[in-house]
A and B are shown apart, each in its own frame.
Chain A
């Protein structure tokens, strides 16, 4: 187990380095940063002076080392669009909004996905099962930005029940969270269904039934507890997915989180802010993958040896 964890942590660090190299490389492809800092009438001597001041005259690997060093010190550079603001602190300011949205979307996907998954498994091969399959298929085929817009149109524009966009009251939270969570409702449902079907077929469930325990108890207590492992570990992955998926949902609903910040930064070609968002999200994404992998290996020892 220890060996497995060490190897997985090592891989995660490698992945983070790969992300940083990609971003560093792209930053250099996207044009000479000095040209963006200096006025048009600048002379060659000005260019050389600024290059030296920023360390851009040094070889690439040294530039990269400085870049990584800065990141470790939390120095992601200054925003171009929001003048004078530190890129990282801009991102961190927006973090609570994104977290709020993701957590609520997670609650929705759990509260809806798990029970439906159980019911659909118990009613296998009936109309209920078919309905569940259709819901799941729609969830996987529907673009979340479009679902968000349609929810907005029906509930905010037509019926005026909920606000169209922005953040504030609980009412503001409902539509974006549903739009973000629906895709995962389908995934949680499918996962719960298949692991419930496995458990329903085991000996101890038959024994519980023979003992005369009520069907409700058998399904919701004996089976669900054992079937929960797969969906529960999956929630770790969902959380990572939500944080990155929030880019789309936040754009639709004007939710002032990190995703919207990233899009605004993309439109303003504000590379410092975009790279801070990407590195932060990639780190969260990689970390949640790591946690899930370790959790799986802990729960299912067979996994440790296949690596």
Chain B
């Protein structure tokens, strides 16, 4: 929003040092970037190096150990929990699996699901959007009707039906996310293509004898890449949320995958005695989605400010 109105009152005075820090932070999204690296990327790539324990194998003698910092709990002389140890900094779950290790492997799961499904949805949506916008006419009508239909199908419900029909699996989750998300690319890319198509350089390319395929791939596509990148970044957070919700409901990734949504689901019945089982995976989801949203906002302002309302 370009708000160039005259300020009603003068901006408050700030200590210069703080201001410079803020300015720097505004120029580069340092905090979100750091969180993305710490919570998502580094754990996803180096999970097997960093994780102190196996994400899927636990020992029952270690079950439901509390995290570091939670004190021993003794009620009426009976020891309920003895406080956390550094062996399991975030505690263990019902099967004695280390929660920190599961969260670290969970980053790999979330990032894999998000990147695969966003790439597939992006390719399908972009291709259809380019075709619809460039050729127009009946094919445009047909594709846009498909987009309308896709936008009006609620994603979680579709996932439920798929989970019953095909059984919960990695593929089912990818299919659901692609079906829900491709249409946004198609609609956005079509709009951009329409605007680009009417510009002079496209006509000149045509006069110079370029084929439709060449014009689309060499002249139109490079001009919509920024839009696609911004949309994809903004969607990573939403995809992570959707995948977590599906897994939580039992319609997403199957057990014993260390998926964050599944881990929260494991902690649901334990909320009375062992809050940490559900708490920490939720924090991981929150941080990952929050930082991706901030990153997407920043990229949008940087690369493609017209997308403000997407």
- B-contacting residues of A (Cβ < 8 Å)? 11-12, 14-15, 18-19, 22-23, 26-27, 29-30, 137-138, 140-146, 149-150, 152-153, 157, 164, 194, 197, 201, 240, 244-245, 247-248, 251-252, 262-263, 265-267, 269-271, 274-275, 277-278, 281-282, 285-286, 289
Residues of A within 8 Å of B161, CB to CB, are: 22-23, 26, 274-275, 278
- Residue B198, interface by CB 8 Å: no
* Bound complex: CA A307 to CA B271 (Å): 50
A201–chain B nearest beta-carbon distance, Å: 6
8 closest Cβ contacts across the A-B interface? A146-B282, A30-B165, A141-B290, A26-B165, A141-B289, A244-B154, A15-B152, A18-B149
* Assembled-state Cα–Cα distance A251/B293 (Å): 27
Question: Nearest chain B CB to A219's CB is how many angstroms away?
Answer: 13
With the chains together, A24 CA to B289 CA distance in Å? Answer: 35
A26 to B162, CA, bound (A): 7
- B133 beta carbon closer than 8 Å to chain A: no
How many Å lie between the Cα of A18 and that of B147 in the bound state? 12
Given contacts A194-B1, A252-B268, contact A27 B293 (CB under 8 A): no
Could you say which residues of chain B place their CB within 8 Å of the CB of A266? 160, 163-164, 249-251
The minimal Cβ–Cβ distance linking A174 to chain B, given in whole angstroms, is: 17
Among B148, B165, B245, B265, the residue within 8 A (CB) of A27 is B165
30 contacts between A and B (CB under 8 A): A11-B148, A15-B149, A15-B153, A18-B153, A30-B165, A137-B290, A137-B293, A138-B290, A141-B237, A141-B293, A143-B241, A143-B244, A143-B282, A143-B286, A145-B264, A146-B278, A146-B281, A152-B271, A164-B272, A248-B156, A248-B249, A263-B249, A265-B164, A271-B164, A274-B160, A277-B157, A278-B157, A281-B154, A281-B157, A286-B152
Report B152 CB to chain A, min CB distance, Å: 4
Q: Of residues A149, A244, A252, A285, which shows the largest number of chain B Cβ atoms within 10 Å of its Cβ? A: A149
CA of A197 to CA of B300, assembled, Å = 21
Known: A137-B294, A244-B154, A278-B157. A197 touches B3 (CB 8 A): yes
What is the 8 Å Cβ interface bit string for chain B, positions 1-36, against chain A (1 contact, 0 not)?
A: 101010000000000000000000000000000000
B166 beta carbon closer than 8 Å to chain A: yes
Contact indicator A282/B1 (Cβ below 8 Å): no
Instruction: Flag whether B261 is at the interface (Cβ < 8 A).
Output: yes
Residues of B within 8 A of A27 (CB): 165
Chain A residue, CB-CB nearest to B8: A124
Nearest-neighbour CB distance to chain B for A98, whole angstroms, equals: 13
CA distance A143 to B157 in the complex (A): 17
Cα–Cα distance between A210 and B257 once the two chains are bound (Å): 64
Known: A138-B290, A143-B282. A282 touches B261 (CB 8 A): no
Task: Please measure, in the bound complex, the distance between the C-alpha atom of A290 and the C-alpha atom of B277, giving whole angstroms.
Answer: 42
Across the interface, A278 reaches (CB within 8 A) one of B160, B249, B282, namely B160
Chain A residues within 8 Å of B241, by CB = 141, 143
A interface footprint on B119-157 (CB within 8 Å = 1, 0 otherwise): 000000000000000000000000001001100111011
Known A146-B281, A194-B1; 6 more pairs at CB < 8 Å = A18-B153, A30-B166, A252-B268, A269-B164, A278-B157, A282-B154
Q: Decide: A289 near B294, CB < 8 A? Known: A14-B145, A30-B166, A248-B249.
A: no
Q: Which of B145, B249, B282 contacts A251 (CB 8 A)?
A: B249
Select A149's contact among B156, B249, B251, B268, beta carbons within 8 Å.
B268
CA distance A164 to B285 in the complex (A): 23
Chain B neighbourhood of A263, CB < 8 A = 160, 249-250
